[in-house]
Amino acid sequence: MAASDQQRVTLVREAFWLEWLTVGWMQVEATAGVASGIAAHSITLVAFGLDSLIELVSAGVLIWRLSIELKFGCEFSERAEAVARRIAGGLLFALAAYVVAAAGWSFWRSKGEAFSWPGLIVALLAIPIMLVLARRKLVLADRLGSRALRADAAESIACLWLSSVVVIGLFAQLALGAWWIDALTSLAIVWFLVKEGREAWQTDDDD
């Protein structure tokens, strides 16, 4: 096997284990985010938890795609790459649609969130974890030429942003008591989700 092939295998294995780390943390984040979001009637916390579930699914898809390359080589992974990036892109669109719909419902009801300490703690923990995971995934995505891995990294970035939005929204809600803050802050991530979703869905002919 050529040195370049050996280097690619090493990169694929690193990406593989990064996805397993993602799976472990996303299980914690999804459970805490959704549970605390429902308890606090918070769109951003529920979106944060649903994003974690989406990233959990995406990580599973990437594990499948990377496993194929490790077992059968780069040529056999091309079909898996195309399927994985379409799934990842679709998941980003689904999350964007949920955030918009939930924010609209909140504005219609004129009712926001209650403060949630569990939600705040998990969001604070997620910020450095997602920052490290997203940065490394982007590096590996570029070196491997994998749009599927880039889309998965985008979901990690979305989680990082949503974590920041949750923290800002919770503190603003606590300090100001404005019902609309939760819905407004949740919309801050939509443009990014749509942008990355479109890039994941592009074919090579679209470049």
- Whether the CB-CB separation of 201 and 89 falls below 8 Å is answered with yes
Q: How many CB atoms lie within 10 A of CB 114?
A: 14
The tokens describing 77, both together, are: 């992974």
CA distances in angstroms from 102 to 95, 122, 123, 172, 175, listed in the order given: 10, 21, 19, 19, 23
Residues 6+ apart with CB under 8 A from 58: 87, 88, 91, 151, 152, 155
Higher local confidence (pLDDT), 128 or 8: 128
In degrees and rounded to multiples of 5, residue 114 shows phi and psi of -100, 160
Q: What number of H helices and E strands is found in the chain?
A: 7, 0
Residue at 93: amino acid letter: F
6-52 per-position pLDDT tens digit = 788 899 999 999 999 999 999 999 999 899 888 887 777 887 888 78
52-103 per-position pLDDT tens digit = 888 888 888 889 888 888 887 665 566 777 777 788 788 888 878 888 887 7
Helix 3-40 with 117-144: angle, nearest 10 deg: 160
- Whether the CB-CB separation of 139 and 145 falls below 8 Å is answered with no
Higher local confidence (pLDDT), 78 or 116: 116
Residues 6+ apart with CB under 8 A from 7: none
pLDDT reported for residue 204: 52
- Whether the CB-CB separation of 45 and 113 falls below 8 Å is answered with yes
CATH number (3.30.565.10, 3.40.50.150, 1.10.10.10, 1.20.1510.10) of 3-206 reads: 1.20.1510.10
**What is the average pLDDT score of the chain?**
81
- Whether the CB-CB separation of 163 and 150 falls below 8 Å is answered with no
pLDDT reported for residue 20: 95
pLDDT reported for residue 3: 36
